[in-house]
Structure 1
Amino acid sequence: MTITEIAELAGVSIGTVDRVIHKRGRVSAKTVAKVEKIIKSSGFTPNPIARQLALKKDFVVGILLPLKTDDAGYWELIFDGIEKACEELKPFSIKLAVKNFDRKKNGDFTAKAEALSKIKIDALITAPVIAEEASKALKFFSDIPYVFVDSSLPEGKQLTTVAQNPYASGVCAARLMKLIVPDAEKIVCVQMYPDSYNLKERARGFTEFFKEKNVINVAGNCNTKNETDSFIKSIIAKKPDGIFVSNNASFSFVEYCRAHNIKKKFALIGYDLMKQNKKFLAEDFIDCIISQQPEQQGYEAVKAIYRHSLINEKVNKTMKIPITIYFKENI
């Protein structure tokens, strides 16, 4: 039995179990008795490596993610999940070394990866959203375990990937589109970051579902507001019956239509229950949102590193985040 399983059976945190095992910190007598009973019945023996790390040495996790402000705060939510897990694992003295890269700036992922590699870190959490650059930059971390969040790489040697299955997610979006506009004649699939592996896979899943229809795939870099507006204008001009936005920028389409007094005549499906998307979903301007649970991604990424590096548990190669669907009625 593991510390994680003991914590689940006792209905307490991993940190509480650790405090009981090592007899430090404040824990109620009732909780101590409950945990000790489970430990005794299971024959659990504390992991000496974990104990040593908890008592003697910081365990440093490098964080290499896009700027927190990017994508309407999506990455900040992943970081919130990371911090929550670190707080729960406080007895193990997990520290963070953070480098945020600008995904719109060519070469910044590599530059920040190199800078982080010069710091002594024990593990890494990153999002390989710029696939080609990430594949090369990860050579800096070949001697430590690293975990992917949000996206994966086909050839990656990661410990695990914490993300949705992007192809299945794209198929799910296509099924929703078919339900919302069953007689649609023109559907546009939008990729606002053409180099992103997971967005390509979502688009592939969406397009392959509509084999009998001519889905228009449109990709373009939207690094500035002017580029974004021009990109959206070109899509609106096609007069589609449905628009699938493969990232969390569906709110941008609503804002553009409002700013230009354009009446929405198309179904709009996108990703992530960010503040703007939630608002427009409630107001019926967005028809459906698929959530990637960013906080859960960050949380599970830290827990995967903890299980692998601190208590020697096996970690699955993939940790699939559920495909959660939101309409205005269930937000």
Structure 2
Amino acid sequence: MGITQKQIAELAGVSIGTVDRALHDRGRVDPKVAVRIKQIAKELGYRPNSVAQSLSILKRNLKIGVILHIQSHNAFFDDIIRGILKCKEEISDFGIAVEIKECPDFNAREQLKLINQAVEEGISAIAIVPINHPVIKERLNELHKQQFPVVFLTNIIDDTEYLSFVGCNYNLTGSITAGLLNLVCPKSGKLLLFSPSFQMLGHIHRMNGLKTSLEQEYPQIHLQDVIEMTGNDIKDYQLTRKALEEFPDTNVIVCPGGYSCGNLQAIQEMGYFKSSRIICYDSSAEIEKELRNRNITATIIQQPQLQGYTAVRTLFEYLSSGKSPASKNQFIQTRIILKENLSEI
């Protein structure tokens, strides 16, 4: 028969509650006491009673809500959802429900309604792709004060408290982009940056990381303009053509890839597949096709499926055992994909 928390408590001279908090790293426990408790548990081979834990979770009827910021699907968010569903299947034996709610594109008022709806429905925790808007910040800060667990998924917003952020390090990704541009255009470059919507604060951070690195490390590459894409293929096609007509000598392009088919279509039609070096973000069937054809030099991916999975897993562990993530910001590793390693996507 295995050692119990009660026996550990007797040996450590503390209460069972203190043992439970120390073993699961939750609540206030004197650090020296926690170390002693964990050492006793390790020496005696303590293992949690997973059956009892499962039954306890089942009785609590826990629900995780996932609130996206966008309703029109794209390849990136399709992968996010695949990761969410993978984790949902893994934790289904514990009886924890996972519900996905989709917001009309970048509509902060509608996202606020979804947050309030989730709380009213008895959702136990929320993973959210937050829109960078004052009403969202205010509501999420209210939930944090009420000790309601919220995980930011793939986007972060400032002046807002949260349990954990799961996504890429956007500023670093911008710097990586600059370094990659230097490799493909080491002597001189005239760059156009086509960015996804700046209603996602992460996209602003990525742009700033790119700008800073170009200014400090790679001044031979001149950023001619930044064009914010809309996610609407027709509008993005028009915006892209206009920018390329204004800067016809562009020879390096950074674009949002799967976020905007209209953007890629205009770049192709105007002949820039052959005359420019093109770096994309994220992946899609179209990007993979053009990587194989060497019309796109590389794409920088954020592993969205892993992001979706990790966000839900983080909330599951917090709800089931009170375990907080080791790091508040759980940065998912950014990867560079070329034609040669396409099979790794």
TM-score of Structure 1 vs Structure 2, range by shorter chain: 0.7 to 0.9
Alpha-carbon offset, residue 236 of structure 1 = 1.7
Unaligned runs of 5+ in 1: 1-38
Alignment partner, residue 14 of structure 1: none
1:170 aligns with 2:174: yes
Match of 2:150 among 146, 153, 169: 146
| Preserved contact between residue 190 and residue 223 of structure 2 (Cα < 8 Å) | yes
| Preserved contact between residue 67 and residue 126 of structure 2 (Cα < 8 Å) | yes
Match of 1:234 among 233, 239, 242: 242
Unaligned runs of 5+ in 2: 1-41
Alignment partner, residue 117 of structure 1: 119
Helix, strand or coil at the partner of 1:121: coil
| Stretch deviating more after TM superposition (110-119 or 245-254) | 245-254
Distance between the aligned counterparts of 1:113 and 1:229, measured in 2? 33
Q: Which amino acid aligns with 2:297?
A: D
Residues 292-303 of structure 1 mapped to structure 2, 5 A cutoff: 292-303=302-313
Helix, strand or coil at the partner of 1:42: coil
Helix, strand or coil at the partner of 1:214: strand
Helix, strand or coil at the partner of 1:171: helix
Distance between the aligned counterparts of 1:250 and 1:268, measured in 2? 14
| Preserved contact between residue 250 and residue 268 of structure 1 (Cα < 8 Å) | no
Match of 1:159 among 160, 163, 175: 163
Task: Number of aligned residue pairs: give it.
Answer: 292
How large is the RMSD of aligned CA atoms in angstroms? 2.6
| Preserved contact between residue 195 and residue 227 of structure 2 (Cα < 8 Å) | yes
| Preserved contact between residue 303 and residue 332 of structure 2 (Cα < 8 Å) | yes
| Preserved contact between residue 166 and residue 201 of structure 1 (Cα < 8 Å) | yes
| Preserved contact between residue 127 and residue 151 of structure 1 (Cα < 8 Å) | yes
Alpha-carbon offset, residue 94 of structure 1 = 1.4
Distance between the aligned counterparts of 2:98 and 2:182, measured in 1? 44
Residues 146 and 106 of structure 1: CA distance in aligned 2, closer, same or farther (over 3 Å): closer
Alpha-carbon offset, residue 168 of structure 1 = 0.3
Distance between the aligned counterparts of 2:97 and 2:112, measured in 1? 22
Q: Which amino acid aligns with 2:124?
A: D
Alignment partner, residue 134 of structure 1: 136
| Preserved contact between residue 254 and residue 280 of structure 2 (Cα < 8 Å) | yes
Q: Percent identity?
A: 19
Distance between the aligned counterparts of 2:272 and 2:255, measured in 1? 18
Helix, strand or coil at the partner of 1:226: helix
Q: Which amino acid aligns with 2:58?
A: L
TM-score (norm 1): 0.79
Alignment partner, residue 46 of structure 1: 49
Alpha-carbon offset, residue 129 of structure 1 = 4.0
Alpha-carbon offset, residue 118 of structure 1 = 2.2
Q: Which amino acid aligns with 1:134?
A: I
Residues 47 and 106 of structure 1: CA distance in aligned 2, closer, same or farther (over 3 Å): closer
Residues 36-75 of structure 1 mapped to structure 2, 5 A cutoff: 42-46=45-49, 50-67=53-70, 69-70=72-73, 72-75=74-77
| Preserved contact between residue 199 and residue 247 of structure 1 (Cα < 8 Å) | no
Helix, strand or coil at the partner of 2:224: strand
Which structure would you say has the larger Rg?
Answer: 2
After superposition, what is the alpha-carbon deviation per residue over 1:239-269, rounded to whole angstroms, capped at 9, x for unaligned? 3111112564365433224445666411111
Distance between the aligned counterparts of 1:242 and 1:66, measured in 2? 30
Alignment partner, residue 336 of structure 2: 325
After superposition, what is the alpha-carbon deviation per residue over 1:252-287, rounded to whole angstroms, capped at 9, x for unaligned? 433224445666411111211222222222221211
Match of 2:294 among 284, 301, 319: 284
After superposition, what is the alpha-carbon deviation per residue over 1:106-143, rounded to whole angstroms, capped at 9, x for unaligned? 63322322332321100001112435453134256343
| Stretch deviating more after TM superposition (42-51 or 53-62) | 42-51
Distance between the aligned counterparts of 1:59 and 1:291, measured in 2? 33
Q: Which amino acid aligns with 1:82?
A: I
Alignment partner, residue 308 of structure 1: 318
Q: Which amino acid aligns with 2:48?
A: T
Residues 94-105 of structure 1 mapped to structure 2, 5 A cutoff: 94-105=96-107
Alpha-carbon offset, residue 165 of structure 1 = 0.5
| Preserved contact between residue 254 and residue 285 of structure 1 (Cα < 8 Å) | no
Alpha-carbon offset, residue 290 of structure 1 = 0.8
Match of 1:255 among 265, 268, 274: 265
Distance between the aligned counterparts of 1:229 and 1:279, measured in 2? 19
